[in-house]
């Protein structure tokens, strides 16, 4: 254990420090919510910056913990997303009902983030599982964080029950994996090329476990309920950070560990992808609650993400990460606007958005751009993300899948346009009044917007990611 | 810097300017100035183009510039034009120019309106100058999506429904298209070498036959949907009927041309064997389209529906002629694209003017407009005559080139198809004259109309610009025909070998 | 004590599979959050049997399965704690812990 | 010889059209009229100059040959198929130039008086200029496509002029009908052009009609339904001609076209445009004669039938312009017959010469008749015979000129009509006796209905006029007089030396056997008319009653209009267009909507998946995992 | 029938029977007790396989901690003698069918597969080795998971307290 080790593990270490701060703040009955929020955000910001400092690749703790440039990037993506979530939730956290709660909130939130980092950095399935649980259990608590609301309680319970089953299934798969390989060290498993029915079962159980977090159909059913019931910052966190972590983990494991058995995971993912896109779309079509709507939208997006897995090589991984980044920023932007609305008015129905543009043109425009980005409309980044995903799938000759995916993208455009329609076209006697957003909120939206507008055109980013693969 | 980029830059600056504009008036003026500059620049470009050609430059594409964009996927920012793109650019800038003036009086969310409109135009310009399938597709979608807002916000009637339908159908088309493009990309290096989106490079490499057979329908139908290929045209009547004037103009006038252009530039040019093998099927579809659209137009009562169906017929003729795959017919198809673009834009502009005054588009609710708004009416008659192919106006030149060209295919199938397509000129006459008769001529049916004001200066400017263009092509078509024909020899060589 | 000569590994594995799916059935059919939680514990324990059995039968040279099991037990404890907190929370809000009553969020 | 000045013949009217069209509001009405008339005067002079130079400079015996005064490339389709816009001068086109400019000038002058004070006077002159331009362009066309271009332009000018009184629904309907019917015919023309040009690889008349050219010397081999491709092509082309020249069954637009101002009827629908079909056949005559004789037969039968059919109808009509319109049909039928019975070259080409001769003379006397009728209408403010009578006292000049015209058309010597009609009858007589018999009969009927018209207008009873009719102003009577003179003397033009099928002069002889019966039958016709209509009496009514079946049918123009209306309204509108529109809305669009609705419906159906019950969620999860496993294991 | 075999069969039977009972019994407190039996039997199984420490942990944490927790919560939330509603027929069918299917698929595949032992000398899971490895940071050391579990427990604890705390 040297300084270097700590530096390599800087994400986790610094997060631990932050967690400690939150614990202390919580314990000391910190009453000044504003200061607490500010300190947390500032601390997180510093931590986030530290994350960008380059470090060497290393495997620590006897290979339990692995860090390389790609993983640092993935963590940074999650960090930035979390930072944006923190910014967006600042208003929520400062509100009077959260007297004495911010500490617990931040503590739980940051520990889940740490869990995700361990998932990503896991060099051993044990760590992966641990990370997964660390990322899930506190999340169930977060989902129930709005103790005043029955829905929030319901969301937490549903999430916990179903996620426990999913992790049990994943564990069962892992146990079989252990039986097959004799080890859970990823590095060792990656050396072996074993194929058998039981291996298939193990892989599918594993994928299902992560697929649950990623909200793949038919493992998605918790998603909408939990998204709707949870407090908005938590929903945001679910839809971007939690999902991103699951996706990255799945990608790292499948590409790095089961690299010799691509056929075993490609077909299941193919099926899941089609199911996810179609079912997600069909549900999203008629949603009226924005959170629930975004839940299904994010399910559909997860279906798209799977397209990247069709390509076994660098292109596949690159497009997955690239798309996740863009999806994350776009979704965060949507949630950013939504969170401002919810903070100011408490309204979260699509009908409440009617006539929104007339009173809040800027927010409306941001929403428009980010929805277009989600739908994959140029020139915003979503187009590039989707296009490259399709490219990845097509490179494997899966044109039928691509076609299904693009048709689904068209359907998804339909419901994104419904939101646009509400904001821009529908008339409303009493639209949401003009909202003044805070500095944090503006900053959050600014980051997202810059990303959405710039990422597609700055090809260096894509090339950089590809270089890491 | 590549001068072609100005075609994107000028609209972009204009949009930025509008965004900064203080009030409605400024926004209007900035758009007008921007689009005038664009028009002017297209003329300059045309002049440069001619100069280059005159100086002995015989490159397939000129003003080519290549910048690698995504090196790992070999995506390039490659721009360049030939005679075909040049004329399409001219068409676009003329229609956009007219469109801005015709929408002078948009009051609701004016800035947003002009930004969306110009964004649409930008997409079109970008599409026409792109030589890389990726950027082409990008601009294609950029051009399509503002339609939703433009129709949804500033439209009339069941605008939400129409806007959604139009957007979804076109996006469905681009779904097919995307599959086609990716298929092309992944087969673009059949003989080794890097995969590429570069149009010229792919053409040079050639695609394997099986790939062509699989991806041609995707690409052709994908573009064809935008070109109102039967039976995927139904977005057109509803969309046009609900769209605001300038949008109908740009859409029917320019955007639908993307379809035909793409069918030719991408689908047929890159996949000649498949084009040959499957032409018969699409010829049947387009022949049906030509006649069917015309017959459909006869029964309509809404001016915009009439024009939309007429567009189906005329655009069907474009695809029809392209599929004939000989130089004359193809020239005709391109001429028809330009001609239809101009005259349908004029039509929609005039319909907008009429609607703005009478607040109805139902022809049987109006009558005798010639007496009350002669300027608009006379222009309408001109547009109608152009549409039915009167010599001296552009429609005639295009249609005749198509018919003569199509008839050069010696087998019975093509000839029968040609003759059936020819018959549309009669049907066109029927519905055009029906409209003119009911709408413009006869006694004034509604006394309120007696107080209507004739066209304002900006409307006149917009309309006359279009009419003059139509007449120039109609009276002196040779230069345009030669401009379009010039790159065809090489391209058709590719097609027939 | 070495079991491998007496009882084949497969017996252990089948046993664990049985318990695993019995746990699953419990979760699906019992209409009470607490019993569902019990089902989850069953499933986790089934997995534990697997790990332990593999460790003992196949790979006794290392203790990976053993430690995994320990970790699972620890996590199961945490999970149970969290679950019970949530259940109590539900109970406060809804008045029962019947699954049938927590379906306000749907469609 | 330099004919480059002829470009002015085309340029001037175009310029005048543009000028009058663009300045129609700001220009004073009179000025517009004078400007238009002046430009036409100049053109007329130029045309005469061209004729003088052409005929003066050539040798009738050797043939006049063809001069291409100019030829600009307008559009090229392929390397060989190119459209030129040019001026071709030969005896045929020069003759047409003279006819057109002369009649047009007369109409211009006449209109100064006739249209005075009309709203849209400038527009009227602009349209006239446009028409003149188009018609002149048509006749000087160097190639068939140029002809087609101007053919269409003529059509649209006609449309505009028929619909000149655009606030009158009947005029609007008539103009629409005229345009669509001729457009339909033009479709045939176009297809014919496509076929002909494809097999020959050229549009140029020079190449097409040269007896050594590819069409004629290498007859197209392939046959379709027993006729060669060339024959089919020529039949299609004739369809265009038949439409413009209002041959049965495409004649229906012409009577209705009388809704236009009367001078327009005189110019377009009597003297010039309607003979374009004749001109077209004459222009392509070598091909017809040598490569498509079957087509010529068809032409002669159609011409003959039309002339009889129209003459019969003319006997029953009450609207004087309609009588004249049917008379025009009948006379054009004569011209067609003449072409149909003609051969190529020398004496065999008698019919050709006769046809154009009749075209020439007919232009003058029919224009005269229309202008005379216009003069009458101007005075009486009605088109109906029943409102007229005894006008000879009020309008002497009109009366005399009208009588001359009637005598001319009746074919009494030595008026011009006699000569031209006589040549036609001779040609028919030599070729086909049945056709001859029909035409002979028609000659009698013509004399009858013309004098029925004449007597009814100028004699018979005198109705009560609200305003006493008075003679027309000099701007109107002057053209009348000029045309009367022309009608009288036009017959003495030595046509057989000037305008022949092969350009070479030949000798014609006088056939007493043909001439005398035709004079006789004309006299009988006149006599009958005198008996029935000179004074008011009961005989016409009785006669009509005795043959009521035929009379009613003829009065209703043999119900051809009704058949057309049935076809257009009943079949095309109701049974094609309406179903197409319905199909499009409900089937094609319905399918698209169905896809959308199905998606939405599916979304409603599957919403039960998201039941809100966490146990079911878990079940879905578990069964999903298992099914996926099963699927993978079975693979 | 040797001793270990008999013990195994007894334990296995206990595990299965009590699991089923715990699922089937409609009196919730009894179900919890049956679960306790299952857990204890499992501890026996571990013990049989030489993992004494694990068996102890199982007894302490599961039997001593979790089941007690569960019983507490049962006492908190329901009347002790009240019977639970019988399962819904639909759920029952779905659950049982799925389970049977799952068992069939997994068991068949597992039984078919010939697991290959590592054939290396076993190490005794003594307290010492376990303790060392648990604190070791090198290969096969479990210090990191141990720490992470700490964080997990902390987070769970804080969150749980927050949620369960009355406001």
Q: Give the number of C-alpha atoms closer than 13 A to the C-alpha of residue A381, restricted to the C-beta side.
A: 26
Adjacent-strand bridge partners of D89: D67
Contact C73 E92 (CB under 8 A): no
Q: What is the pLDDT of residue A389?
A: 92
Three-state DSSP at D75 gives: strand
Counting as low any pLDDT under 70, the low residues of chain C are 1-4
Beta carbon pairs, B and D, within 8 Å: 131
Averaged confidence pLDDT in chain B: 88
What is the structure's pLDDT at A211? Answer: 93
Q: What is d(CA D481, CA C7) in angstroms, rounded to the nearest whole number? A: 134
Interchain CB contact of E94 with D (< 8 Å)? yes
Chains in contact with C via at least 3 Cβ–Cβ pairs below 8 Å = A, D, E
User: Which of the four pLDDT bands, split at 50, 70 and 90, describes residue D563?
Assistant: confident
Cα A322 to Cα A424: distance, rounded to the nearest angstrom: 30
Report the number of secondary-structure helices (H) and strands (E) in chain C: 3, 0
Distance from CA of E164 to the nearest CA of C (A): 5
Of B400, B419, B481, nearest to D191 by CB-CB distance is B419
Residue B359 pLDDT class (50, 70, 90 cuts): confident
State pLDDT tens for residues B112-165: 889 999 999 999 999 999 999 999 999 998 888 888 888 988 888 888 888 888
**Residue D62: pLDDT over 70:** no
Beta strands, E only, D139-218: none
CA-based R_g, chain A, Å: 21
Asked if pLDDT for residue D504 goes beyond 80, the answer is no
The answer to whether domain C31-99 has CATH 1.10.287.3510 is yes
B:268-327 residues touching chain D, CB 8 A cutoff: 292, 295-296, 298-300, 309, 327
Asked if E141 reaches chain A (Cβ–Cβ under 8 Å), the answer is yes
What is the bridge-based pairing of β-strands D82-89 and D67-76?
antiparallel
Number of domains in chain E: 1
Helix (H) or strand (E) segment spanning residue D44: helix D29-57
Contacts of A410 in chain B (CB under 8 A): 168, 171-172, 174-175
What lies within 8 Å, CB to CB, of A186 at 6+ separation is A63, A66, A122, A123, A124, A125, A253, A256, A257
pLDDT in tens, B173-216: 888 999 999 999 998 887 778 888 988 888 888 888 888 999 99
pLDDT at D221: 58
Which A positions 95-124 lie with beta carbon below 8 A of chain B?
A: none
pLDDT attached to residue A390: 92
| A243-298: pLDDT as tens digits | 999 999 999 999 999 988 888 888 899 999 999 999 999 999 888 899 999 999 99
In chain C, which residues have their Cβ closer than 8 Å to the Cβ of A153? 86, 89-90, 92-94, 102
- The bridge status of strand D223-224 relative to strand D227-228 is antiparallel
User: Chain C residues with CB inside 8 Å of D619's CB?
Assistant: 28
pLDDT value of residue D319: 84
The full DSSP string for B59-101 is: -SSEEEEEEEEETTTTEEEEEEE-HHHHHHHHHHHHHHHHHHH
Q: What pLDDT does residue C2 have?
A: 62
List chain E residues with CB under 8 Å of C40. Answer: none
Q: Which of B307-311, C64-68, D531-535, E51-55 has the lowest mean pLDDT?
A: D531-535
According to the model, what pLDDT value does residue C17 have? 92
pTM of the model: 0.91
Nearest to A406 by CA among B234, B214, B177, B137: B177
- Set of chain D residues whose Cβ sits within 8 Å of the Cβ of E102: 622, 626
Interface test with E, best of A58, A100, A118, A141 (most E CBs within 10 A): A141
- CB neighbours of residue D519 within 10 Å: 18
Q: How far apart are CA D147 and CA D140, in angstroms?
A: 8
For A344, left (φ over 0), alpha (ψ -120 to 50), or beta? alpha
For C78-91, b where at least 16 C-beta lie within 10 A, e where not — what string?
bbbbbbbbbbbbbb
Instruction: Name the pLDDT band for A242 (thresholds 50, 70, 90).
Output: very high
Min mean pLDDT across A114-123, B312-321, D510-519 is at: D510-519
Could you tell me which residue, D184 or D509, shows the higher pLDDT?
D184
Q: Judge whether residue E17 has pLDDT over 80.
A: yes
Distance from CA of A456 to the nearest CA of C (A): 35
Of the listed ranges A29-38, A242-251, A352-361, B50-59, the least confidently predicted one is A29-38
d(C-alpha B432, C-alpha D24), whole Å = 25
Token pair for residue A319? 């497009």
Please indicate whether residue B497 or residue A247 has the higher confidence score (pLDDT). A247
- D511 pLDDT tier (thresholds 50, 70, 90): confident
Tokens coding B107: 């009051």
Q: What is the pLDDT of residue D60?
A: 62
Q: Give the distance from residue B153's alpha carbon to the nearest chain A alpha carbon, in angstroms.
A: 5
Six-digit token string for D360: 């020439």
Stretch D313-337: mean pLDDT: 86
CB contact under 8 A, A111 and E143: no
Q: Which residues of A touch E155 (CB under 8 A)?
A: 19, 107-108, 111-112, 134, 137-138
Query: Do chains E and B touch by CB distance (3+ pairs < 8 Å)?
Result: no
Q: Which domain holds residue E144?
A: 3-83+124-164
**Is the CB of residue A228 less than 8 Å away from at least one CB of chain D?**
no
- What is the reported pLDDT for E167? 67
- Percent with pLDDT over 90 in chain B: 20
- Output the pLDDT for position C20: 93
- pLDDT category of residue A48 using cuts at 50, 70 and 90: very high
Best residue in E77, E141, E162, E167 to probe A by mutation, most A CBs within 10 Å?
E162
Tokens coding D344: 């190529």
* CATH code assigned at E145: 1.20.120.1200
Note whether residue E102 is domain-resident.
no
- Chain C residue with the nearest C-alpha to that of D612: C106
Supply the pLDDT for residue D205.
Answer: 82
Tell me the residues of D at the A interface, defined by beta carbons under 8 Å apart: 599-600, 602-604, 606-607, 609-610, 612, 614, 616-618, 620-625, 628-629, 631-633, 635
- The ranges assigned to domains in chain C are 31-99
DSSP for residue D258: G
pLDDT tens readout for residues D451-490: 888 888 888 777 777 777 777 788 888 888 888 888 888 8
Q: Tens digits of per-residue pLDDT, D115-134?
A: 887 788 888 888 888 888 98
In a domain, E31, yes or no: yes
The distance from CA D34 to its chain's CA centroid, rounded to whole angstroms, is 28
Q: Which of D142, D88, D84, D154 lies closest to B477 in space, CA to CA?
A: D84
Q: How confident is the model at residue D497 (pLDDT cuts 50, 70, 90)?
A: confident
DSSP track, chain E: --HHHHHHHHHHHHHHHHHHHHHH-SBHHHHHHHHHHHHHHHHHHHHHTT-HHHHHHIIIIIIIIIHHHHHHHHHHHS-SSPBPPPPPHHHHHHHHHHHHHHHHHHHHHHHHS-PPP--S------HHHHHHHHH--STT--HHHHHHHHHHHHHHHHHHHHHHS--
CA distance D477 to D490: 19
pLDDT in tens, A404-461: 999 999 999 999 999 999 998 888 888 888 889 899 999 999 999 999 999 988 889 9
Q: Average pLDDT of chain D?
A: 83
Using 50, 70 and 90 to split pLDDT, how confident is the model at D225? low
């Amino acid at each position: 254990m040297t300084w270097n080790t700590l530096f390599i593990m800087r994400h986790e270490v610094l997060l631990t420090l932050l967690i400690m701060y939150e614990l202390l703040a919580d314990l000391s009955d910190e009453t000044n919510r504003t200061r607490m929020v500010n300190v947390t955000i500032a601390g997180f910001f510093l931590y986030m910056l530290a994350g960008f400092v380059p470090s060497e690749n290393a495997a620590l703790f006897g290979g339990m913990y692995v860090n390389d440039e790609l993983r640092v990037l993935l963590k940074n993506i999650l960090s930035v997303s979390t930072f944006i979530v923190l910014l967006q939730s600042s208003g929520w956290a400062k509100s009077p009902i959260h007297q004495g709660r911010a500490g617990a909130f931040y503590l739980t939130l940051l520990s889940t983030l740490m869990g995700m980092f361990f998932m990503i950095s896991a060099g051993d399935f044990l760590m992966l599982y641990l990370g997964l649980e660390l990322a899930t259990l506190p999340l169930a608590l977060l989902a129930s964080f709005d103790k005043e609301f029955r829905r929030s309680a319901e969301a937490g319970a549903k999430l916990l029950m179903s996620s426990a089953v999913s992790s049990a299934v994943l564990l069962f798969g892992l146990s079989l994996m252990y039986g097959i390989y004799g080890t859970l060290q990823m590095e060792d498993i990656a050396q072996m090329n074993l194929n058998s029915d039981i291996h298939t079962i193990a892989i599918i159980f594993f994928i299902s476990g992560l697929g649950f977090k990623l909200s793949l159909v038919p493992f998605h059913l918790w998603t909408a309920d939990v998204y709707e019931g949870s407090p908005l910052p938590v929903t945001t966190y679910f839809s971007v950070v939690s999902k991103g972590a699951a996706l990255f983990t799945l990608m790292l494991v499948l590409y790095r560990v089961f690299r010799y058995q691509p056929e075993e995971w490609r077909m299941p993912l193919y099926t899941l992808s089609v199911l996810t896109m179609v079912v997600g779309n069909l549900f999203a079509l008629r949603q009226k609650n924005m959170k629930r709507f975004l839940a299904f939208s994010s399910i559909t997006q997860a279906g798209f993400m799977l397209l990247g897995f069709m390509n076994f090589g660098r292109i596949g991984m690159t497009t997955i990460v690239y798309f996740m980044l863009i999806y994350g920023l776009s979704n965060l932007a949507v949630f950013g606007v939504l969170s401002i609305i919810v903070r100011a008015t408490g309204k979260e129905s699509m009908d409440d958005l009617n006539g929104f543009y007339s009173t809040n043109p800027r927010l409306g425009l941001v929403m428009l751009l980010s929805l277009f980005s989600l739908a994959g409309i140029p020139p915003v980044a979503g187009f590039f993300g989707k296009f490259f995903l399709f490219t990845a799938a097509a490179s494997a000759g899966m044109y039928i899948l691509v076609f299904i995916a693009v048709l689904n993208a068209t359907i998804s455009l339909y419901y994104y346009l419904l939101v646009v329609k509400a904001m821009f076209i529908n008339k409303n006697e009493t639209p949401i009044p003009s909202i003044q957003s805070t500095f944090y909120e503006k900053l959050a939206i600014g980051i997202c917007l810059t990303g959405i507008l710039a990422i597609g055109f700055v090809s260096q980013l894509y090339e950089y990611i590809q270089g890491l693969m | 810097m590549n001068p072609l980029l100005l075609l994107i830059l000028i609209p972009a600056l204009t949009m930025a300017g509008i965004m900064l504009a203080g009030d409605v008036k400024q926004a209007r003026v900035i758009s007008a100035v921007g689009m005038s500059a664009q028009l002017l620049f297209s003329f300059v470009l045309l002049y440069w183009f001619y100069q280059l050609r005159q100086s002995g430059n015989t490159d397939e594409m000129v003003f080519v510039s290549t910048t690698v964009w995504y090196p790992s996927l070999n995506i390039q920012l490659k721009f360049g034009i030939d005679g075909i793109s040049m004329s399409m650019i001219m068409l676009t800038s003329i229609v956009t120019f007219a469109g801005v003036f015709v929408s002078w009086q948009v009051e609701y969310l004016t800035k947003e309106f002009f930004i969306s409109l110009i964004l649409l135009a930008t997409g079109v310009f970008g599409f026409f100058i792109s030589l890389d399938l990726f950027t082409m597709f990008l601009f294609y979608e950029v051009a399509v999506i503002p339609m939703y807002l433009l129709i949804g916000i500033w439209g009339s009637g069941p605008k939400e429904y129409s806007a959604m339908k139009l957007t979804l159908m076109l996006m469905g088309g681009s779904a097919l298209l995307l599959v086609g493009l990716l298929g092309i990309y992944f087969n673009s290096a059949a003989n080794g070498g890097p995969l590429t989106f570069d149009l010229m490079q792919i053409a040079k490499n050639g695609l394997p036959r099986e790939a062509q057979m699989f991806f041609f329908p995707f690409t052709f139908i994908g573009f064809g949907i935008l070109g109102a290929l039967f039976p995927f045209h139904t977005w057109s009547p509803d969309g046009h009927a609900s769209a605001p004037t300038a949008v109908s103009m740009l859409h029917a006038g320019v955007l639908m041309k993307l379809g035909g252009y793409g069918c030719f530039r991408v689908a047929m040019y890159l996949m000649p064997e498949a084009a040959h093998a499957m032409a018969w099927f699409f010829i049947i579809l387009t022949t049906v389209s030509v006649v069917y659209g015309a017959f459909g137009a006869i029964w309509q009562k809404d001016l915009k529906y009439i024009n939309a169906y007429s567009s189906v017929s005329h655009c069907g003729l474009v695809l029809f002629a392209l599929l004939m795959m000989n130089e004359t017919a193809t020239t005709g198809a391109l001429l028809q694209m330009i001609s239809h673009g101009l005259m349908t834009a004029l039509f929609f502009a005039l319909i907008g003017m009429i609607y703005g005054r009478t607040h109805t588009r139902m022809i049987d609710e109006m009558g005798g407009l010639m007496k009350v708004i002669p300027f608009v009416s006379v222009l309408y008659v001109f547009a109608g005559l152009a549409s039915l192919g009167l010599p001296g106006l552009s429609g005639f030149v295009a249609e005749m080139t198509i018919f003569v060209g199509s008839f050069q295919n010696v087998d019975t199938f093509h000839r029968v198809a040609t003759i059936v397509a020819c018959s549309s000129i009669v049907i066109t006459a029927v519905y055009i004259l029906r409209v003119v008769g009911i709408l413009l001529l006869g006694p004034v049916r509604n006394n309120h109309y007696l107080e209507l004001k004739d066209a304002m200066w900006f409307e006149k400017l917009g309309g006359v610009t279009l009419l003059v263009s139509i007449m120039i092509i109609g009276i002196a078509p040779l230069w345009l025909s030669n401009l379009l024909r010039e790159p065809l020899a090489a391209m058709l060589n590719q097609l027939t070998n | 004590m070495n079991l491998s000569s007496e009882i084949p590994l497969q017996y252990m594995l089948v046993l664990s599979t049985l318990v695993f799916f019995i746990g699953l059935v419990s979760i699906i059919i019992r209409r009470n959050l607490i019993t569902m939680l019990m089902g989850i514990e069953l499933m986790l324990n089934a997995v534990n049997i697997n790990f332990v059995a593999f460790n003992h039968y196949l790979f006794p040279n290392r203790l990976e399965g053993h430690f995994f099991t320990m970790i699972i037990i620890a996590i199961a404890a945490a999970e149970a704690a969290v679950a019970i907190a949530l259940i109590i929370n539900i109970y406060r809000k809804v008045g029962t812990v019947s699954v049938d009553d927590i379906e306000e969020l749907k469609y | 010889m330099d004919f480059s000045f002829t470009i002015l013949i085309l340029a001037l009217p175009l310029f005048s059209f543009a000028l009058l069209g663009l300045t129609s509001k700001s220009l004073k009405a009179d000025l517009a009229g004078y400007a238009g008339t002046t430009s036409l005067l100049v053109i007329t002079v130029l045309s005469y100059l061209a004729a003088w130079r052409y005929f003066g400079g050539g040798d009738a015996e050797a043939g006049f040959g063809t001069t291409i005064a100019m030829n600009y490339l307008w559009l090229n389709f392929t390397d060989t198929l190119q459209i030129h816009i040019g001026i071709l001068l030969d005896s045929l086109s020069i003759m047409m130039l003279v006819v057109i400019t002369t009649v047009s000038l007369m109409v211009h002058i006449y209109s100064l008086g006739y249209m005075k004070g009309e709203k849209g006077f400038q527009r009227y002159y602009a349209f006239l200029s446009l028409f003149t331009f188009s018609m002149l362009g048509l006749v000087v066309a160097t190639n068939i496509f140029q002809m087609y271009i101007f053919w269409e332009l003529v059509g649209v000018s006609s449309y505009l002029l028929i619909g000149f009184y655009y606030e009158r629904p009947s005029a609007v309907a008539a103009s629409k009908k005229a345009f669509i019917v001729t457009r339909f015919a033009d479709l045939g023309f176009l297809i014919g052009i496509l076929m002909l040009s494809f097999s020959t690889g050229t549009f140029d008349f020079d190449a097409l009609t040269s007896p050594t050219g590819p069409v004629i010397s290498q007859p197209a081999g392939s046959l379709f339904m027993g006729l060669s491709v060339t024959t089919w092509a020529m039949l299609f082309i004739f369809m265009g001609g038949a439409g413009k020249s209002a041959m049965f069954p495409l004649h229906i637009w012409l009577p209705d076209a009388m809704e236009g101002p009367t001078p327009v009827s005189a110019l377009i629908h009597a003297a010039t445009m309607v003979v374009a079909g004749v001109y077209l056949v004459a222009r392509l005559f070598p091909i017809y004669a040598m490569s498509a004789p079957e087509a010529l037969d068809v032409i002669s039968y159609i011409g003959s039938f039309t002339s009889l059919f129209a003459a019969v109808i003319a006997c029953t009509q009450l609207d004087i312009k309609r009588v004249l319109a049917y008379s025009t049909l009948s006379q054009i039928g004569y011209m067609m017959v003449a072409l149909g019975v003609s051969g190529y070259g020398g004496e065999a080409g008698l019919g050709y010469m006769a046809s154009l001769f009749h075209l020439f003379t007919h232009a003058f006397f029919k224009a005269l008749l229309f202008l005379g009728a216009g003069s009458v209408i101007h005075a009486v403010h009605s088109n109906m015979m029943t409102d007229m009578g005894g006008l000879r006292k009020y309008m002497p000049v009109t009366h005399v000129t009208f009588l001359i015209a009637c005598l001319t058309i009746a074919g009494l010597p030595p008026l011009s009509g006699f000569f031209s009609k006589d040549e036609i009858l001779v040609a028919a007589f030599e070729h086909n006796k049945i056709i001859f018999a029909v035409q002979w009969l028609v000659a009698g009927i013509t004399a009858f209905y013309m004098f029925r018209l004449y007597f009814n207008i100028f004699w018979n009873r005198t109705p009560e006029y609200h305003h006493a009719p008075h003679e027309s102003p000099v701007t109107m009577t002057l053209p009348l007089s000029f045309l009367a003179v022309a009608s009288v003397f036009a017959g003495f033009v030595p046509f057989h030396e000037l305008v022949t099928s092969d350009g070479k002069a030949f000798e014609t002889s006088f056939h007493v056997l043909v001439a005398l019966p035709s004079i006789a039958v004309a006299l009988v016709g006149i006599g009958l008319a005198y008996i029935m209509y000179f004074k008011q009496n009961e005989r016409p009514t009785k006669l009509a009653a005795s043959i009521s079946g035929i009379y009613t049918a003829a009065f209703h123009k043999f119900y051809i209009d009704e058949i057309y209306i049935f076809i257009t309204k009943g079949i095309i509108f109701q049974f094609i267009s309406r179903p197409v529109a319905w199909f499009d809305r409900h089937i094609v669009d319905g399918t698209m909507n169905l896809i959308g609705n199905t998606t939405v419906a599916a979304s409603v159906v599957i919403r039960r998946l998201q039941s809100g019950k966490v146990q079911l969620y878990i079940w879905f999860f578990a069964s999903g995992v298992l099914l996926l496993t099963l699927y993978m294991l079975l693979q | 029938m040797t001793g270990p075999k008999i013990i195994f069969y007894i334990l296995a039977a206990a595990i299965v029977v009590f699991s089923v009972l715990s699922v089937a019994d409609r009196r919730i407190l009894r179900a919890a007790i049956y679960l306790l039996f299952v857990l204890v039997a499992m501890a026996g199984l571990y013990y049989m396989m030489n993992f004494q420490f694990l068996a102890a942990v199982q007894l302490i944490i599961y039997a001593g901690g979790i089941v007690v927790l569960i019983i507490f919560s049962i006492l908190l939330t329901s009347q002790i003698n009240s019977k639970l509603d019988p399962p819904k027929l639909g759920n029952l069918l779905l659950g049982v069918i799925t389970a049977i299917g799952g068992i069939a698929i997994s068991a068949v595949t597992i039984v078919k597969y010939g697991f290959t032992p590592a054939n290396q000398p076993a190490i005794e899971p003594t307290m010492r080795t376990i303790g060392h490895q648990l604190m070791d940071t090198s290969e096969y050391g479990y210090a990191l998971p141990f720490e992470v579990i700490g964080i997990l427990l902390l987070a769970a604890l804080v969150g749980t307290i927050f949620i369960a705390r009355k406001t």
